[in-house]
A = this chain, B = another copy of it.
């Protein structure tokens, strides 16, 4: 099993943090780490990392799908839920965080960064930056910070009484927002408390 990774991209930490939370008896993959160009096009036509290449030859080309693969094989601790209800509720929150947080940060960052001209979306298609979309991303991130703070008012973690993949993704969304020069406002105390908690735990950075 080979894991194609890239240490300079904003999204692969979601998988790395996920894997660090598992106590595996061995590291079940060979790590192939470098630039985004090291993902063989034959494995992932989208030319993106991370990619997990299984011994069967199958390629898992999506961050959450890679996490699900390891969760299915090594379900402790459960970071994606254990029962049908837990799995579904966790996925609901995860996807909301991706949509409102990670994709919004991507809008804000990729449409305003000079080095990404013609690269407004990741993947093989060259797309021009749209300045109005960078502004929209910033607006969306402010709403994301506000609802996440509200959610965390009476909840220690995003969706369950314990740390899940939704917390990992929320933390990465906040970190990604900083790439777009946006941080959660200081007055959002619940979000600040949660971020400090989840980001300073052992194995929270990867």
Chain B residues with Cβ below 8 Å from A121 are 140
CB distance from A56 to the nearest CB of B (A): 7
A sample of 23 cross-chain residue pairs with beta-carbon separation below 8 angstroms, ordered by A number, consists of A46-B96, A54-B85, A56-B85, A58-B89, A59-B92, A60-B88, A60-B92, A61-B92, A65-B88, A65-B92, A65-B95, A68-B84, A68-B88, A68-B91, A69-B84, A69-B85, A72-B84, A72-B87, A73-B84, A125-B140, A130-B130, A130-B132, A133-B133
B residues less than 8 Å from A206 (CB atoms): none
Which residues 144-179 in A have Cβ within 8 Å of B in the complex?
A: 147
Nearest residue (CB) in B for A159 is B58
Q: Tell me, yes or no, whether A9 is within 8 Å of chain B by CB.
A: no
Interfacial chain B residues near A91, Cβ < 8 Å: 62, 64-65, 68
Q: Say yes or no for A24: interface residue by CB 8 A criterion.
A: no
Which of A52, A85, A120, A133 has the most B CB atoms < 10 Å from its CB? A85
Q: Mark A76-98, 1 if CB is under 8 A from B, else 0.
A: 00000001110111011001100
